[in-house]
Chains A and B, each alone.
Chain A
């Protein structure tokens, strides 16, 4: 605990309370500033579906309605399918990562096989390469060689098992005592059985954190879906929102409604699984 950083003012508790109140006031003020864009987005998403230039608009809309949500959804025949596409892509990306990055992480930490350390080193090294390096060849590969534009596999496969998740899984599995695995082996368990019956039950938390992180990243990703989709019906919600923005530059409220539609699923997820989200931030960042 870091309580020792602050004096507890045991001789004079009122100083203690005044100081903490002042800090709290500042923190709340800063929280208000941080949250303002989000509040603004929610509030104006209920504003009128008209050009903002034609009226002098206030900080918050005067009359609240769902008109702008209707306007955003009727912008394209596929507006609702964008959300569905995002769900499909994010779900399969999560499944791929939890299963395959989990298995790879386990093998890299607990199975002694030939080529293990070299391979892991190469994967680790690849994490330092900026995505700009791979984007052009990847685009040529998927779009020009495989002709996979506007397909789910094109959206899912490249992110199906990321180096980061392999690394995270390996770090975690390393902490599981090897004796546990050895004794299971002596009892006659195969590696697959060990993984299913011993490792997985022990790693529910880390795998949940990994699943949530991956889902969030996949849902929010814009760049790759933007490159490999050209038909509106295959857009993800982020690509759809971007298209709407460039097509309707002056429609404040419908744009906010679109932004809301793209973030609300993640906010719901956040409020129901806050613990895992916050844990995911510090995984891999702080030692010990």
Chain B
């Protein structure tokens, strides 16, 4: 005991000052309290709940049963598959799209650039609910719907965009591509401005043309940005909930049931808290694995 006390005393003398300890903890006090109550406790509680069958008064410990139920459930795998398809299509396409747009915006003057940035970013500040409500009508199954009007221009018959199993997922993908690129474009523009002109000048002396500059200068220099957008994009996409909930309700025939919607339904429609927690933890594991994988594949020579 005594030794420990002396050791502590020495430690605080050499490395920390009492006054700093007090003011430090005073400054973070509220933040830590909020963090412990509303993040740390729920995470720990989620792990515990995932091994229980929830009952209002005294939950029952059931071991790995919830995990076994989750992994043995076809709908769980289907929702993983749906989420994966959605992610694999939306994220790369949206990165290519925003990169191309950013490349096209940079030759203009600063003022023109900020006008375009503003325009492309504008849809991004509307809420998910509002965007869903609008797109619901764009996909209206009657010939009056905007997408059906576009099809009519090409002489194709009207589609039941959201309620046919052939087009429901496609509809959600198109919507994601056309309503969430603003932030990515702005981030890419910032990255493009970070590339020093001397690189291009040197390349020009070697006779590099536009696409060679893109290939050998811009793409490698933008790699940290691409990795960042890829990682955050995939993480966000795996948690997607709003569009499936508002637009299709997961249907038809669970063809658009994303993992986020499945967890929500299990928890708040059926009250299976234990199962929902187990699925959420499986989701967290999948996301962590995917993030690690992306860093392994792309992040080798990137310094942070």
Contact status A5-B210, CB under 8 Å = yes
Evaluate whether A263 and B25 lie within 8 angstroms (CB atoms) in the complex, with A20-B108, A130-B239, A144-B56 already known: no
Within 8 A of A (CB), among B142-167: 142-144, 146, 149
Main secondary structure of the interface of B (DSSP, over half): helix
CA distance A107 to B21 in the complex (A): 10
Contacts of B26 in A (CB 8 A): 191
Query: Which residues on B are within 8 Å of A, measured CB to CB?
Result: 12, 15-17, 20-21, 23-28, 30-32, 34-35, 37-43, 45-46, 49, 54, 56, 101, 103-108, 114, 116-123, 125-131, 133-138, 140, 142-144, 146, 149, 178-179, 181-183, 186-187, 190-195, 197, 199-201, 204, 210, 213-214, 217-218, 224-225, 228-229, 235, 238-239, 241-242, 246, 260, 263-264, 267-268, 273, 276-277, 279-281, 283-284, 287-288, 291, 304
Q: Which of B125, B183, B193 sits near A270, CB closer than 8 Å?
A: B125
Contact status B179-A132, CB under 8 Å = no
CB distance from A158 to the nearest CB of B (A): 4
Contacts of B34 in A (CB 8 A): 96, 100, 157-158, 160-161
Query: Which residues on A are within 8 Å of B, measured CB to CB?
Result: 1-7, 20, 23-24, 26-27, 30-31, 33-38, 40-41, 44, 52-53, 56-59, 96, 100-101, 103-104, 106-108, 111-114, 116, 119, 122-123, 126, 128-141, 144, 157-158, 160-161, 163, 166, 190-192, 195, 216, 219-220, 222-223, 227, 238, 241-242, 245, 252, 255-256, 258-259, 262-263, 266-267, 270, 274, 277-278, 281-282, 285-288
CA distance A157 to B120 in the complex (A): 33
Q: Looking across the interface, which residue of chain A has its beta carbon closest to that of B228?
A: A285
Q: Looking across the interface, which residue of chain B has its beta carbon closest to that of A33?
A: B178
CA distance A96 to B30 in the complex (A): 9
Contacts of B120 in A (CB 8 A): 31, 34
Contact status A113-B20, CB under 8 Å = yes
